[in-house]
Amino acid sequence: MGINFFYPEFEVVRNDLRCIRCQVCARQCANEVHFYDEKRDLMLSDESKCVNCQRCVSLCPTRALKIVKSNCRLRENANWDSDTIREVYKQAGSGGVLLSSMGNPKKYPVYWDKILINASQVTNPSIDPLREPMETRVFLGKKPQTLERDEDGKLKCELTPQLELSLPVMFSAMSYGSISYNAHESLARAARELGTYYNTGEGGLHEDFYVYGPNTIVQVASGRFGVHRDYMEAGAAVEIKMGQGAKPGIGGHLPGTKVGADISRTRMIPEGSDAISPAPHHDIYSIEDLRQLVYSIKEATGHKKPVIVKVAAVHNIAAIASGIARSGADIIAIDGFRGGTGAAPTRIRDSVGIPIELALAAVDQRLRDEGIRGNVSLVVGGSIRSSADVVKAIALGADACYIATAALLALGCHLCRTCQSGKCNWGIATQKPELVKRLNPDMGTQRLVNLLTAWNHEIKELMGGMGINSIEALRGNRLMLRGVGLTDAELRILGISHAGE
Ligand code: SF4
Ligand code: SF4
């Protein structure tokens, strides 16, 4: 329309005395913000294109740059803040659905920050994890109701296939396409080094990554992209994706611009075509239908691999989980409404679903009440940010956690939240070869291994402080948790007492 309705969100602050005109910033910014004015021998910027990814700031050799949030605000009030007004302007200009990436940024309560962990004092000694054994290994899958042994003490009952994790954390689903080859390689190699798993998401498995199969969870989503027998055979477990926390109720969308030759081959779709997965699985309209798919996958993989069913945390999640636990699935993965995404409609990301903390507590309780908790393991994700969140999740009833945003941060993501543009300056959410090579898989692997090694130490310290020496003893141990500043309804759903009680 020709009218610029708003001042750019970020300002580039350049110290001209420090700037040596090396133009590193211009070469590093895929959004083409910086440019050199030869006549005036000055570096200039088009701030309207800046997404505050901090790449230029980090690489400027003389620290001449700063990106600051503009304090030029629209005329906001308590009802209409600047962001809301901006969004109306954008839609009035484009006529389109607003797209966003990463997790829900709205100010809903983060229950992890309102839950505190217990520590032993005097009567129940704490355990020193540096001097005493501490078990963080976890087995995911259906557990037998009773254990029988023969005269030699060997187990008589047959165990269903299990996933063995050296620590209760796995890398959540991120498809090749939404993230780069180098990001996938880093996740795959880190999972192998750590003794845990990464997840293909709905993008299929690149031929180079079959070698990491024993540490790979392969996903079957509604679009069935890249799904074939060898793919399912390659993984250690198969995950049926029914929903995702960032966009419950809808399918995925990878724009055709990101579907290059490699991705087209891996996903088994034409090059340059949009990869749009349908909202529902067109063969699943009931728990009975889900059961059929679970058993088809088990048949196709010789009953050797656990089957995971992943759902988004929504209002009646406890009843849904109860159905899944009866469907023959071995593991239920629940994704909370803060979970990340490469691209989602903003309104859905910010308004649909429920917090993972409440969903987890409700599901664990329901499965216990119905006597079927042992039928399945529970894995939760959707903004697990630290080892303390992991410990709280396990005490609320989870067997393990999925992380994705934290893993991307370890790889260098600066949460600029523009993954959908495909121009990730950190080489993560992009398919542009010149950007992809910015992420070194050796370094990426090492940083992921460091992150989870550090978390595992902290998990052991937190458990030791509680006087608990295994994840198994922590799981569902809600006596170890107290709430602060929570309502009676929130405490009841979480199944914990208030601090001081
Ligand atoms: S988009 Fe990133 S690299 Fe480009 S100017 Fe902004 S902060 Fe710097
Ligand atoms: S992955 Fe890249 S584009 Fe996405 S939020 Fe992180 S830095 Fe930004």
Take residue 40 and report the two structure tokens written for it.
Answer: 């005036």
Mean pLDDT of the region 234-262: 91
User: Whose Cα sits closest to atom 2 in ligand 2?
Assistant: 424
The predicted-structure confidence for 304-325, as pLDDT tens digits, reads as follows: 999 999 999 999 999 999 999 9
> Among 174, 415, 347, 195, which Cα is nearest to 185's?
174
Arithmetic mean of pLDDT, 232-248: 96
User: Do the beta carbons of residue 335 and residue 311 sit within 8 Å?
Assistant: yes
Q: How far apart are CA 98 and CA 92, in angstroms?
A: 11
The CA R_g of the chain, rounded to the nearest whole Å, is 24
Q: Does the pLDDT value for residue 293 go beyond 90?
A: yes
Which ligand has the minimum distance to the alpha carbon of residue 422?
A: 2
Q: How far is the CA of 429 from the centre of ligand 2 (A)?
A: 6
Mean pLDDT, residues 84-94: 92
DSSP category for residue 411: H
- The stretch 214-225 carries a mean pLDDT of 95
Pocket of ligand 2 (CB under 6 A): 53, 101-102, 408, 413-419, 424, 426, 428-429
Alpha-carbon dihedral angle through residues 58, 456, 118, 133, given to the nearest 10 degrees: -150
Whole-prediction pTM: 0.95
| CB of 435 closer than 6 angstroms to any ligand 1 atom | no
Q: Residue 321's Cα: distance from chain center in Å?
A: 20
pLDDT at 1: 47
Which of 11, 43, 54, 414 should be mutated for ligand 1, with most atoms under 8 A from CB?
A: 54
Closest residue by CA, ligand 1 atom 8: 56
**Pocket residue to mutate for ligand 2, from 99, 408, 435, most atoms within 8 A of Cβ:** 408
Cα 21 to its chain centre, rounded Å, is: 39
Q: Does the Cβ of 51 fall within 6 Å of ligand 1?
A: yes
Q: 6 C-alpha to center of ligand 1: Å?
A: 19
Q: Residue 485 is which amino acid?
A: G
CA separation for the pair 10, 134 (Å, rounded) = 48
Q: What is the pLDDT of residue 157?
A: 80
Ligand 1 midpoint to CA 33 (Å): 7
pLDDT digits 0-9 by tens, 324-359: 999 999 999 999 999 999 989 999 999 999 999 999
Residue 186: pLDDT band (50, 70, 90) is: very high
Q: Which of 415, 431, 436 to mutate to test the pocket of ligand 2 (most atoms within 8 A of CB)?
A: 415
Residue having the nearest C-alpha atom to atom 6 of ligand 1 = 50
What mean pLDDT is predicted for residues 220-232?
93
pLDDT at 155: 81
pLDDT value of residue 4: 66
Q: How many CB atoms lie within 10 A of CB 342?
A: 25
Rounded distance from Cα 418 to ligand 2 centre (Å):
6
- Inform me whether the pLDDT recorded for 125 exceeds 60: yes
- In tens, the pLDDT along 35-62 reads 999 999 999 999 999 999 999 999 999 9
pLDDT over 70 at 112, yes or no: yes
Instruction: Sort 473 into a burial class: Cβ within 10 Å, 0-12 / 13-18 / 19+.
Output: middle
Tens digits of per-residue pLDDT, 381-400? 998 999 999 999 999 999 99
Report the pLDDT value the prediction gives residue 301, as an integer from 0 to 100. Answer: 96
417 CA: nearest ligand 2 atom: 5
Q: What pLDDT is attached to residue 2?
A: 53
Task: In whole angstroms, give the CA distance from residue 490 to residue 467.
Answer: 27
**pLDDT digit string, tens, across residues 469-495:** 999 999 999 999 999 999 999 999 999
Maximum C-alpha span of the chain: 90
Q: Please give the distance, rounded to the nearest whole angstrom, from the Cα atom of residue 11 to the centre of ligand 1.
A: 10
* Atom nearest to 57 CA in ligand 1: 8
For the segment 116-143, the average pLDDT, to the nearest whole number, is 94
Q: 257 or 266, which is more confident?
A: 266
Inform me whether the pLDDT recorded for 459 exceeds 80: yes
* Residues 115, 122: Cα–Cα separation, whole Å: 23
